[in-house]
């Protein structure tokens, strides 16, 4: 059975699928018949920033309405029991964090959908928009046509949010502008063709360089990007276990020592319980 000293977990959209978040390349990935791979690009944003914002706002709302599933919970549990642990997720949703995966043991390598950042300068803010208002106005973003800085949504006498600021789709078609340089604000995610965030990349490299892992789990990803396979193979110790959790075959499958062709919310709780029970029996 397995030591639980150093663990690396790599996840993709499949882990959030059972929370109702569409995957990218699954049949449910298209939005208004638009291919996500065509929308999640700097070119698409340059061509029609309103349309791209609409897509991200719908995704943000869907994520707010979603709950972490048993796969997210199992990974958070593993983070608690492993001596050394790092979760590297390609997911821009916040379900791993909401399940309790600690920030210092998690890398969102493709960014965070609830971050809004300037497309030119370093101004950015993060707001999940929970607590009533569907999509909070940027703390200091100016809405061009209203020209008014909006601190918080107006309220009707019965306390409910006044339509003008509450109707997300009406206002939200506007594209927030940076209060520092007036450039367009964009979602804080990594789009196709863009560099991975340097600081996050450094954290992954530091973890890989700190020593081999006994156990590597790769769950819910097509492993489309070579760095996912590269990190998994560089991480695994010569006698370590590389587990792939995915109902389908992927380019990583031939390297895995175990292939679990099951939904993540089924396979991960079982794997983690086995590992945790085994570890506690060794203590």
81 is an active site residue: no
Decide whether 138 or 217 has the Cβ nearer to ligand APR. Answer: 217
Of 178 and 232, the one with the shorter C-beta distance to ligand APR is 232
Q: Segment 108-127, which members bind ligand APR (CB under 6 A)?
A: 110
Does 135 interact with ligand APR (rule: CB under 6 A)?
no
How far apart are alpha carbons 195 and 42 in whole angstroms? 12
Spatial distance between the Cα atoms of 90 and 223, rounded to a whole number of angstroms: 10
Residue number with the smallest Cβ distance to ligand APR: 14
The reply on whether position 242 binds ligand APR by CB under 6 A is no
Catalytic residue, candidates 2, 72, 81, 110: 110
Residue 78 near residue 275 (C-beta atoms within 8 A):
yes
Can residue 90 be called a binding residue for ligand APR (CB under 6 A)?
yes
Taking the least distance from each CB to ligand APR, the nearer of 101 and 246 is 246
Find the binder of ligand APR among 172, 246, 252, 275 (CB under 6 A).
246
| DSSP for 43-108, written as a single string | HHHHH-HHHHHHHHHHHHHHHHT----HHHHHHHHHHHHSSEEEEEE---SSHHHHTT--GGGEEE
> By three-state DSSP, how is residue 37 classified?
helix
Burial of 42 (0-12, 13-18, 19+ CB in 10 A): middle
Pairing status of strand 185-189 against strand 111-118: antiparallel
User: Would you count residue 26 as binding ligand APR (CB under 6 A)?
Assistant: yes
- Cα–Cα distance for residue pair 36/171, rounded to 1 Å: 23
Which x/- pattern, by CB under 6 A, does the window 92-111 give for ligand APR? ------------------x-
Q: Which stretch binds ligand APR (CB under 6 A): 11-19, 120-128, 135-143, 163-171?
A: 11-19
Is there a contact between 76 and 101 (Cβ–Cβ < 8 Å)?
Answer: yes
For residues 185 and 208, is the Cβ–Cβ distance under 8 A?
no
Looking at the Cβ atoms of 25 and 234, the one nearer to ligand APR is 25
- Minimum CB separation of residue 280 from ligand APR in Å reads 27
State in angstroms the smallest separation of the CB of 219 from ligand APR: 6
Residue 211 zone, left/alpha/beta (φ > 0; ψ -120 to 50; rest): left
Residues 199-228 that bind ligand APR (CB under 6 A): 219-222, 224
Distance CA 7, CA 86 (A): 7
Establish if 18 lies at the interface with ligand APR (CB under 6 A).
Answer: yes
Contact residues: ligand APR, CB under 6 A: 12-14, 17-18, 23-26, 29, 36, 90, 110, 219-222, 224, 245-248, 250, 263-264
């Amino acid at each position: 059975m397995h030591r639980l000293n150093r663990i690396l977990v790599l996840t993709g959209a499949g882990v959030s699928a059972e929370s109702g978040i569409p995957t990218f390349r699954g049949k449910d990935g298209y939005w208004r018949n638009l291919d996500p791979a065509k929308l999640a690009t700097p070119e698409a944003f340059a061509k029609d920033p309103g349309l791209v914002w609409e897509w991200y706002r719908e995704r943000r709302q869907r994520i707010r309405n979603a709950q972490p599933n048993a796969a997210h919970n199992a990974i958070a549990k593993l983070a608690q029991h492993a001596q050394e642990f790092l979760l590297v997720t390609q997911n821009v949703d916040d379900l791993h964090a909401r399940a309790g995966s600690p920030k210092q043991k998690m890398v969102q390598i493709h960014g965070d959908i609830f971050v809004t950042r300037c497309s030119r300068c370093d101004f950015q803010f993060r707001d999940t928009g929970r607590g009533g208002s569907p999509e909070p106005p940027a703390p200091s973003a100016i809405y061009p046509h209203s020209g008014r800085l909006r601190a918080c949504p107006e309220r009707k006498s019965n306390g409910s949010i006044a339509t003008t600021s509450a109707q997300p789709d009406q206002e939200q078609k506007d594209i927030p502008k940076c209060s520092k340089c007036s450039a367009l604000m964009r979602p804080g995610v990594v789009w196709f063709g863009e560099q991975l965030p340097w600081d996050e990349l450094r954290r992954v490299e530091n973890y890989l360089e700190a020593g081999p892992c006994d156990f590597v789990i790769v769950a819910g990803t097509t492993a489309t990007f070579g760095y996912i396979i590269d990190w998994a193979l560089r991480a695994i110790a010569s006698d370590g276990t590389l587990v792939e959790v995915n109902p389908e075959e992927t380019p990583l499958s031939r390297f895995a020592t175990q292939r679990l062709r099951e939904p993540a919310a089924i396979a991960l709780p079982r794997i983690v319980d086995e590992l945790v029970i085994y570890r506690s029996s060794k203590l």
